[in-house]
Amino acid sequence: MTRPISLPFRSWPVPALLSASRRHPALGAAFLVGPAIAWIMLFAVIPLLLIAAYSFMRSGGSGAIVPIFTIENYSRILTSSLYRRILFESLAIGVESTAITLLLGYPVGYYLGRMKSSVAPFLLLLIVLPFWTSYLVRIFSWLLILMDNGVINWVLSSINATSSPLHLLYSHLGVVIGIVYSALPFAILPIYAVVKGIEQDLVDAAHVLGADEGAAFREVIFPLSLPGLAAAAILTFIYAVGSFLAPAILGGTGAVMISNVIINTFLVLFNWPFACALTVALLLIMLIVLAAAGRLVSLENIYGLRSRV
Amino acid sequence: MPTPDLELIDVRKSFGGVQAVDNVSLSVQRGEFVSLLGPSGCGKTTLMRMVAGLLKPTSGDILIRGERVNDHAPYQRDISLMFQNYALFPHKTSFENVAFGLKYRGVGLAERQRRVREALKLMRLPDIQDRYPHQLSGGQQQRVALARSLVVNPAVLLLDEPLSNLDKQLRVGMQVELKQIQEASGVTFIFVTHDQGEALAMSDRIVVMNAGKVLQLGSPREVYNEPLSRFVADFLGQSNFFEGHIERTEGSQLEFKTDRGLSFVGIPHSETVSPNGRMTLQIRAERVKLSSSQPRPAANSFKATLERSIYEGTYLIHQLRLEDGCVLTSTEPAGRHLPSKAGSQVWVAIDPEDCRLLVD
C-alpha cells in the first residue's frame, strides 16, 4: 500500500482559490480581475471623486478648502472669456496636432506594417527609442531647434531663405510641433498593428481581380486600416489636449493650454476648488468629444467587422 | 490545334537554393478542368501563384492565351483566383465583393449589376447580396468567392484548395456543383488540391506533383490505373507494394518473385521493365480478393491470417499477414464480408491483371 504524498503547496491558498474558482466561476473572475479593479479604484476613481467633490466647494484662500456647497467655480468657467478661450485653444491645438500626427504617422505605420523584411522590428525599435530618454530632455532639445537663433533659423538664414528669424518658439505652431513630435509613436504603433494584421490574401485577391497597387490600397488596405487610424486619432487627441510640458516649455505665454492653467491654479494660486472644477470641465469636454467621435466613426457598424476585430 | 489557354514552358522556381518548382511544362486547352495534385510542399501552390502573377518564376515562360505574361502583374493577367480561405473583403457586401473584379475590368455599372445578380443566381444565392461575409455561412461564403472569381469570365480560373474548409457532406455536393458550373461556364479551371478524391472526381486531367516535379500527367483513370511511379501509385488510393525482381519471361507474360520469395505468375508484360530486373509490384487493396477456401485455379493465391478488420461504414479494411510474414491490406465493400474474426485463416487471391510493375 502506498501512502498518499502530501505536497507542501497543497496548503498554499492559490491552488485552493483556483479550485474554488472552478466550482464558482464568479469567484474566479473576482480573483483574476480584483487586484486591477482595486488599484484603479484606489488611485483613479477615488481621487477623481474627490476632485469632483472639491469642485463644488469654496476656496478659503491660501489653499484652504471650505466645505460649503457652491457652483460658483463652474459659473466662473462659463462666464469668463479667458477660460473659454483657453479651453478652445487647447481643443484647437488637439485637433491640429492630431491631424498632422495622423498625416505623418499613417505612411510610416503603413510602410512598416506592409514591410516583409526582417528590418521592420528594428525600425519599430527606433520609433519607440525616444521613450528611453526623458521627455523633458526631448522637449528642451526642441527649444534649441525652434528658438530664434536655433537650428531651423540657422539653416534658413545660412541658405538666405529668410532675412529675419522665424518666431517658432513661444507660439501656437511651436507647441503643435512639440506635441506632434511626442505623439507620433502613439499614432504609428496602432496603425502599424492594424495594417500588419491585414491578410495578404485580401490584397492578393484585389490584385488578381484586376486592382492595381493604388486601387488595392484604396479599396482594401485603407478601409481595413481605419480601426487603427481611429485608435491612433483617439490616443493622439487625448494626449495632445492634455499636454502640459510642450506648452509650458515651447509655448510660453504665446500658447497656453488648459493643463498649464490647471497646474497653475493648483500650485501657484492655491485655489484647489477652482482647479478641480477646471479639471472636471476638461474631462467632460473630452468625454463629449470622444463620444461624438465614436458615434461618427463607429467602424464596427460601418464595416460589419464586429465578429472579426 | 487552338491556342491553349495556359501554357507553361520549363517553369522553375527556387527559394534560396530550394527548388520549389522544377522544370514544369504543361499545356491546358480551353474549357479543361486540370488538377494540380500532390502532398503539401510539392510545389503545386507555388506553381499556381506563378500563374496568378503573385510569384515570379526563376526561369521559364508562362503563356496565357498565347501571350507571354512573365512580366505582367496579376492585375494585368486575364486570370482569377479563388483562395483557400476565400479572402472575401470583410468590409464589402456580397454584391460589392462579386462586383469588384468587374469594376476593375471596366464593366459599366448597369452591366455590372446585371452580371453580379446573374452570378449570384447561378450560385443559388439571390437574397444575400447586401450581407457582409461574416453574416454568411461557410458554404455561402464559398459560393460568393466562386461567384466573385468566375463572374469576370477569366481565361484561366485558379482554385486553391477551395473545398478544404468544408465538412465532408458539403464537400462532395460542392464537387458535383463545381464541375457542373465549370462545364456550363466553359472556363478553364486549374484546381489545386492535396485531396486525391476531389482530383479524381472532377478533373479532365490530373497533374501529380512531388518535390517540385510533375510525376505524371493524365486522365483520372490513367493516373489511378496506370501509375508510372511508386509515388503516384502510393499517393492515389491504397496499395500493397512488394519489392522483388522478374524471375522469368514467357511470351507476353512474366513471373515476379518478391524478395521474401512470394511468386506471382502470369503478369502481363509491361513496356517499363527495369534493365536490372529490380522492380516493385503494386496491387491495389480493393483488388485483393479474400475467400475462406483455396480458390481455383490456385495460382497467385496465398494463405493468410486475418489480423484485424476495420469497419469504415462503406468499406471494410482487412489487415492480413501472409505466411512469409508480409503484411497485406485488402478493402471490400462492407456488408458482404467474411466472418471478420481476428486470427482466422483466409485465402488471398490476386488476379495477374491487377498486378502492376513499377520501376522504382
pLDDT in tens, B177-195: 999 999 999 999 999 999 9
Per the domain annotation, does A233 fall within a domain? Answer: yes
The verdict on A72 touching B (C-beta cutoff 8 Å) is no
More confidently predicted of A298 and B121 = B121
pLDDT tier for residue B20 given thresholds of 50, 70 and 90: very high
**Interface with chain A: mutation pick from B50, B75, B128, B134, highest number of A CBs within 10 Å:** B75
With a cut of 60, say whether residue B339 has pLDDT above it: no
Which chain B residues touch A if contact means CB-CB below 8 Å?
Answer: 52-54, 73-75, 77, 79-81, 83, 85, 87-91, 100-101, 103-105, 132, 134-135, 148-149, 152, 158
The verdict on A300 touching B (C-beta cutoff 8 Å) is no
Query: Which residues on A lie below 8 Å from B101 (Cβ)?
Result: 209-210
With a cut of 50, say whether residue B313 has pLDDT above it: yes
End-to-end CA separation in angstroms for chain B: 35
- Nearest neighbour of A199 by CB, restricted to B54, B87, B158: B87
Helix (H, G, I), strand (E, B) or coil at B119: helix
The per-residue b/e assignment along B20-48, b for 16 or more CB within 10 angstroms, e otherwise, is: bbbebebbbbeebbbbbbbeeebbbbbbb
- Comparing C-alpha atoms, which of B301, B336, B345 is closest to residue B316? B336
| Spans in chain A with pLDDT lower than 50 | 1-2, 4-10, 301-309
In DSSP terms, B49 is beta-bridged to none
Residue of chain A nearest B150, judged by CA positions: A209
Helix (H, G, I), strand (E, B) or coil at B74: helix
Q: What is the pLDDT of residue B120?
A: 92
Please answer yes or no on whether A212 and B75 come within 8 Å at the CB atom: yes
Q: What is the mean pLDDT of chain B?
A: 91
User: A102 is in which domain, residue-wise?
Assistant: 80-302
pLDDT tier for residue B278 given thresholds of 50, 70 and 90: confident
- Comparing C-alpha atoms, which of B60, B85, B84 is closest to residue B191? B84
CA separation for the pair B356, B181 (Å, rounded): 36
**H or E, element range at B291:** strand B289-291
- Nearest neighbour of A304 by CB, restricted to B81, B134, B152: B134
Please answer yes or no on whether A205 and B91 come within 8 Å at the CB atom: no
Nearest CA distance, B62 vs chain A (angstrom): 16
Nearest CA distance, A271 vs chain B (angstrom): 52
Per the domain annotation, does A282 fall within a domain? Answer: yes
Q: What is the pLDDT of residue B275?
A: 59
Q: Cβ distance A171 to A93 under 8 Å?
A: no
Q: What is the pLDDT of residue A307?
A: 41
Query: Which residues on B lie below 8 Å from A218 (Cβ)?
Result: none
Residues 6+ apart with CB under 8 A from A124: A112, A189, A192
CA separation for the pair B28, B189 (Å, rounded): 9
Q: What are the φ and ψ backbone dihedral angles of A4, each rounded to 5 degrees?
A: -65, 135
User: For residue range B207-223, what is the model confidence (pLDDT) as tens digits?
Assistant: 999 999 999 999 999 99
Query: Which residues on A lie below 8 Å from B75 (Cβ)?
Result: 207-212, 215
Q: ∠ CA A85-A88-A94 to the nearest 5 degrees? A: 140
Q: What are the φ and ψ backbone dihedral angles of A62, each rounded to 5 degrees?
A: 50, 40
Q: List the grid coordinates of B235.
A: 499517393
Q: What is the 3-state secondary structure (H, E, C) of B128-186?
A: HCCCCHHHCCHHHHHHHHHHHHHCCCCCEEEEECCCCCCCHHHHHHHHHHHHHHHHHHC
CA separation for the pair B155, B340 (Å, rounded): 53
Q: For chain A, positions 206-225, list CB contacts with chain B under 8 A.
A: 206-212, 215, 219-220, 223-224
The verdict on A197 touching B (C-beta cutoff 8 Å) is no
Quote the pTM value: 0.84
Q: For chain A, positions 158-177, list CB contacts with chain B under 8 A.
A: none
What is the ipTM for the molecules in this complex?
0.87
The 8-class DSSP code of residue B86 comes to -
- Comparing C-alpha atoms, which of A148, A151, A167 is closest to residue A159? A151
Per the domain annotation, does A75 fall within a domain? Answer: no
Q: What is the pLDDT of residue A255?
A: 85
Of the given ranges (A212-226, A248-262, B102-116, B270-284), which has the lowest mean pLDDT?
Answer: B270-284
Packing angle of the helix pair A258-267, A81-114 (nearest 10 deg): 130
Per the domain annotation, does A181 fall within a domain? Answer: yes
What's A162's domain CATH number? 1.10.3720.10
Helix (H, G, I), strand (E, B) or coil at B258: strand
Q: For chain A, positions 118-137, list CB contacts with chain B under 8 A.
A: none
Q: List the grid coordinates of A103.
A: 498625416
**Interface with chain B: mutation pick from A202, A209, A226, highest number of B CBs within 10 Å:** A209
Query: Which residues on B lie below 8 Å from A305 (Cβ)?
Result: 90-91, 134
Q: Work out the average pLDDT over B330-359.
A: 83
Residue of chain B nearest A213, judged by CA positions: B75
Per the domain annotation, does A178 fall within a domain? Answer: yes
Query: Which residues on B lie below 8 Å from A209 (Cβ)?
Result: 75, 80, 100-101, 104, 148-149, 152
Q: What is the pLDDT of residue A12?
A: 52
Per the domain annotation, does A35 fall within a domain? Answer: no
CA separation for the pair A13, B276 (Å, rounded): 75
Q: Cβ distance B61 to B68 under 8 Å?
A: yes
Q: What order of strands is seen across the sheet that includes strand B345-349? A: B289-291, B345-349, B301-311, B315-322, B327-333
- Side chain identity, residue B360: D
Of the given ranges (A140-149, B136-145, B167-176, B218-227), which has the lowest mean pLDDT?
Answer: B167-176
- What count of other Cβ atoms lies within 10 Å of the Cβ of residue B293? 7
Per the domain annotation, does A58 fall within a domain? Answer: no
Helix (H, G, I), strand (E, B) or coil at B303: strand
Query: What is the domain count for chain A?
Result: 1
Burial of residue B170 (number of CB atoms within 10 Å: 0-12, 13-18, 19+): middle
Q: What is the pLDDT of residue B144?
A: 95
- Nearest neighbour of B91 by CB, restricted to A207, A305, A307: A305
Per the domain annotation, does A202 fall within a domain? Answer: yes
